[in-house]
Amino acid sequence: MLDLLVLTHSVVRYFVLIFLLVVIVRSVMGWQSKSDYAPLDDKLSLWLFIFTHTQLLFGLILFFVSPVVIFSGTSMKDPVARYWLVEHSAMMLIAVILITVARISAKKLTEGVAKHRRLFIFNILALIIILVAIAQSQRGFFNLPM
């Protein structure tokens, strides 16, 4: 069961990254070309939001059931245990918050260019944080547990 959960968490990250990249590209293009915020932009942002929160749910479950996450004072002395307990969790939570704020705050704006700009700024920050977290895991970007 744990292996399936880890695999699912690892696979869903690719959906998050794909939708994140698509939303970033569409938002920067919409911002630069001063185009309207299309229904497709809203749907892509919604799917990014859904996959991100699904990933958060799997991550929270793993946080409490994974043997890699050790809840003790000694985990701060072990770089691997500290990474999974504190660093990975904090960075990914910040990324989820940024993606959520991007979606919710862009929906409240009325001007299309402002929506594109808001989505771009918050989502590019989230992407940077996610890529740093993946790089720090030392597992490699394409590593899937099998």
66-111 pLDDT, tens digit per residue, is 887 778 888 888 888 888 888 999 999 999 999 999 999 999 999 9
> pTM score, two decimals?
0.89
Helix axes 39-65 and 112-136, enclosed angle (nearest 10): 30
Distance CA 108, CA 122 (A): 15
Q: What integer pLDDT is reported at residue 143 of this predicted model?
A: 55
Give yes or no for residue 142 having a pLDDT over 60. no
Give yes or no for residue 146 having a pLDDT over 50. no
Q: What integer pLDDT is reported at residue 1 of this predicted model?
A: 82
Mean predicted lDDT score pLDDT of the chain: 90
Measure CA of the first residue to CA of the last residue in the chain; give whole Å: 13
Higher pLDDT: 142 or 48? It is: 48
